[in-house]
């Protein structure tokens, strides 16, 4: 069994975890699950970086010693990953004794090779970056990362002969185009190597200035530079150097790694780390995968700006799987992406509620109505059936390839192609018409074709949405266990069309992805509520007076002006989805396409007159300009018009196009 090893950066513990940390870690978790799904022996590493100047300063700011401080923040990171259900195999800390020993062995090996020397250096030192900058690297005399003026420090230190490996690294990157990806970051590293003579790297700090670090094995008066310490975690976590020669050990089994980093730490990972490994005669990592920043209103998240997003809140409020899906779908890996609750809600509503959730709801409801929750047999396939199967197979293969290339957004978009196609297939095949015609064999084939392809999509979604994936598979009558993942199972998934068992019982309904509404600030809601209450009191008073003025038995139907009728916005729409309200027996919940950017959610009290599955695909007339109203916890954005005759109720239907106005 081939192995796969993915690492996050070890996160610096001078501040609490935020969205950026969560994104990288969720990507790593998804990659681990993806390769497990392919049948590989996958391992994931994350952890915390706990030495250096910034830690000392951050600890002093809150009146704690460095060890107390790092213990607290590191525990917060570990707790965060538990809350987000990250399936990591190891959480490493650079204060672990085994890691300290590994760093000292690495330093000694490079020192013995003659690649570390003692010298004096004067340079512009940024305490935020914990590194020296040359005059050329500064921007108007300021640190390019922190925009602060570095302090000029002149002191004796130890240096790594990084310049010795400049030409070798340039050639390696040129010969291996996907060593650093996406391509823009490969080009950025090559630009660093080609534009300047690579300087040697200062790898120590005198204890007279900093004691919080790993002591150099060849000079007890110095501690190791934080980056030289931190980068070694990727191999120390595998038990290196003790098991370096052990073919059965973790290092031989899993190294080399797939590294995941944000673009702000490209240089240490793209230049420092490969030259360190080369000097130590160790194999290089497989790929350095570099992503962009999550921006808030086009601004990088910053604690000082107060725009840091709490991943726990987002996961709890919107659902962990939906949050994971949004992160991988909305960021094109390598580019920056904008985060907002509005963007998250829009993605949930469009992809999960309207597309995937609507598909599962429609198909399972129809199967329950037409076949009593029993999986129908697959009959003779039509041309349309074959096309749907072939498109789903091609999309699955594209999804796998794109995921391997860390192009997650494009991979998920590819997987959504059959989801959208299946919703159209439902409309074109019109199962409700087949049922009315009594064509049960063809109806069964249509439902079965849909559920087989729904199963394939739900299975492939497991790396990104593990909980929802399992629930969708269970709704289709399949039991999922990650213990049964292997290469043969996955190959069969891609190669075969039939995975479900005829006659098995499936769920009668699905409501995994309800539409989300943007929550207004509490003050705004309170103001609206008080204004509405005042208006109700006014209406009650005027209504009582009007009633008293009427004579008993007089017709109370009020006449209106033509201008009043013109205020109504009556529009034609198609019911895309119909289901029972989860908390009210007399209410139905609809998604109605009015020709707008997104379907409308409408709640209607007609459950006693209609079966939801019978209404899907119907063209109806909607009062579209009513103010939104919450009915038993769900917002309704309009009213579906009906006609009442005695005890019968009918929908007002038409053949007009979606969005057409009634006048």
Q: Long-range contacts of range 412-417, CB-CB < 8 Å, 24 or more positions apart?
A: 412/325, 412/328, 412/329, 412/464, 413/329, 415/457, 415/460, 415/461, 416/351, 416/355, 416/356, 417/391
Exposure on the CB side of residue 489, measured as CA atoms within 13 A: 16
Q: Are 509 and 365 contacting, i.e. CB atoms less than 8 angstroms apart?
A: yes
Q: Are 214 and 229 contacting, i.e. CB atoms less than 8 angstroms apart?
A: yes
Nearest-CA neighbor of 367 among 380, 377, 356? 377
Strand ranges across the sheet with 287-291? 90-93, 41-49, 3-12, 258-262, 287-291, 180-181
Question: Which residues are part of the catalytic machinery?
Answer: 18, 21, 126, 129, 143, 146, 300, 303
Residue 241: asked if its preceding bond is cis (omega within 30°), the reply is yes
Q: Are 163 and 271 contacting, i.e. CB atoms less than 8 angstroms apart?
A: no
Q: What CA–CA distance (Å, rounded) separates 421 from 384?
A: 11
Q: What CA–CA distance (Å, rounded) separates 658 from 599?
A: 11
- Taking the CB of residue 518, how many other CB atoms lie within 10 A of it? 11
Q: Look at phi and psi of residue 114 and say left if phi exceeds 0, alpha if psi is from -120 to 50, else beta.
A: left
For residue 292, give every residue at least 6 positions away whose Cβ sits within 8 Å of its Cβ, in sequence order, or none: 262, 263, 331, 334, 335, 336, 337
Strands of 13-150, DSSP E: 41-49, 90-93, 116-126, 131-133
| Radius of gyration from C-alpha coordinates of the chain | 31
DSSP 483: G
Q: Look at phi and psi of residue 162 and say left if phi exceeds 0, alpha if psi is from -120 to 50, else beta.
A: alpha
Structure tokens at 372: 């009593």
Burial of 85 (0-12, 13-18, 19+ CB in 10 A): middle
Measure CA 156 to chain center.
47
- How far lies 460's CA from each of 38, 355, 531, in Å? 10, 16, 49
């Amino acid at each position: 069994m081939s192995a796969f090893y993915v690492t996050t950066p070890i996160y610096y513990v001078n501040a609490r975890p935020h969205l950026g940390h969560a994104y990288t870690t969720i990507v790593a978790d998804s990659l681990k699950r993806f390769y497990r799904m392919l049948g590989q022996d996958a391992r994931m590493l994350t952890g915390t970086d706990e030495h250096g100047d910034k830690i000392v300063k951050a600890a002093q700011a809150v009146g704690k010693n460095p060890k107390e401080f790092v213990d607290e923040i590191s525990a917060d990171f570990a707790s965060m990953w538990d809350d987000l259900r990250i399936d990591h195999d190891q959480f490493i800390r650079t204060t672990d004794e085994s890691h300290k020993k590994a760093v000292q062995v690495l330093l000694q090996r490079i020192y013995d090779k003659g690649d570390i020397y003692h010298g004096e250096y004067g340079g512009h030192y940024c305490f935020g970056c914990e590194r020296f900058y040359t005059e050329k690297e500064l921007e108007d005399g300021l640190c390019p990362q922190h925009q602060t003026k570095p302090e000029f420090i002149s002191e004796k230190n130890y240096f790594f002969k990084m310049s010795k490996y400049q030409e070798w690294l340039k050639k390696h990157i040129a010969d291996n185009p996907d060593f650093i990806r996406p391509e823009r970051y490969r080009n950025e590293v090559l630009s660093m190597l080609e534009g300047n003579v690579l300087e040697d790297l200062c790898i120590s700090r005198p204890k007279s200035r900093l004691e919080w670090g790993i002591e150099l094995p060849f000079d007890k008066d110095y501690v190791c530079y934080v980056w030289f310490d931190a980068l070694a975690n990727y191999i120390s976590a595998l038990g290196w150097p003790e098991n370096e020669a052990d073919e059965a050990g973790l290092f031989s089994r899993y190294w080399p790694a797939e590294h995941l980093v944000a673009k702000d730490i490209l240089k240490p990972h793209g230049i420092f780390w490969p030259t360190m490994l080369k000097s130590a005669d160790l194999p290089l990592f497989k790929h350095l995968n570099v992503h962009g920043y999550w921006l808030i209103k086009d601004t990088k998240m910053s604690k000082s700006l107060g725009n840091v997003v709490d991943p726990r809140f987002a996961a709890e409020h919107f659902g962990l799987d939906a949050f994971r899906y949004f992160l991988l779908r909305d960021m094109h890996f390598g580019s920056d992406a904008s985060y907002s609750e509005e963007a998250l809600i829009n993605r949930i509503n469009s992809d999960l509620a309207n597309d995937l959730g609507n598909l599962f709801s429609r198909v399972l409801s129809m199967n329950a109505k037409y076949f009593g929750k029993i999986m129908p047999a697959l009959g003779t396939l039509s041309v349309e059936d074959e096309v749907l199967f072939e498109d789903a197979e091609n999309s699955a293969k594209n999804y796998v390839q794109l995921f391997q290339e860390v192009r997650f957004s494009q991979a998920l978009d590819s997987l959504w192609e059959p989801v959208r196609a299946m919703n159209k297939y439902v409309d074109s095949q019109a199962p409700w018409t087949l049922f009315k015609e009594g064509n049960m064999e063809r109806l069964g084939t249509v439902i079965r074709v849909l559920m087989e392809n729904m199963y394939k999509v739900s299975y492939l979604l497991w790396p990104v949405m593990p909980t929802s994936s399992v629930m969708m598979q269970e709704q289709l009558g399949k039991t999922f266990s990650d213990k049964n993942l292997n290469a043969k199972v996955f190959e069969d998934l891609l190669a075969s069309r039939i995975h479900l068992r005829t006659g098995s019982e499936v769920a009668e309904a699905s409501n995994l992805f309800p539409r989300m509404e943007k929550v207004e600030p509490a003050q705004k809601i309170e103001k609206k509520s008080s204004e509405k209450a005042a208006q109700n009191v006014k209406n009650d008073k005027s209504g009582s007076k009007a009633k008293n003025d009427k004579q008993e038995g007089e017709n109370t139907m009020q006449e209106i002006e033509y201008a009043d009728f013109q205020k109504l916005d009556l529009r034609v729409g198609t019911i895309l989805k119909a289901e029972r309200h989860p908390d009210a027996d007399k209410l139905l919940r609809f998604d109605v396409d009015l020709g707008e950017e997104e379907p409308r959610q409408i709640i209607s009290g007609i459950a006693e007159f209609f079966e939801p599955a019978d209404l899907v695909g119907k063209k109806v007339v909607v009062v579209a300009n009513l103010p939104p109203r919450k009915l038993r916890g769900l917002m309704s954005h309009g009213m579906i018009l009906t006609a009442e005759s005695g005890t019968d109720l009918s929908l007002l239907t038409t053949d007009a196009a979606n969005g057409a106005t009634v006048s």
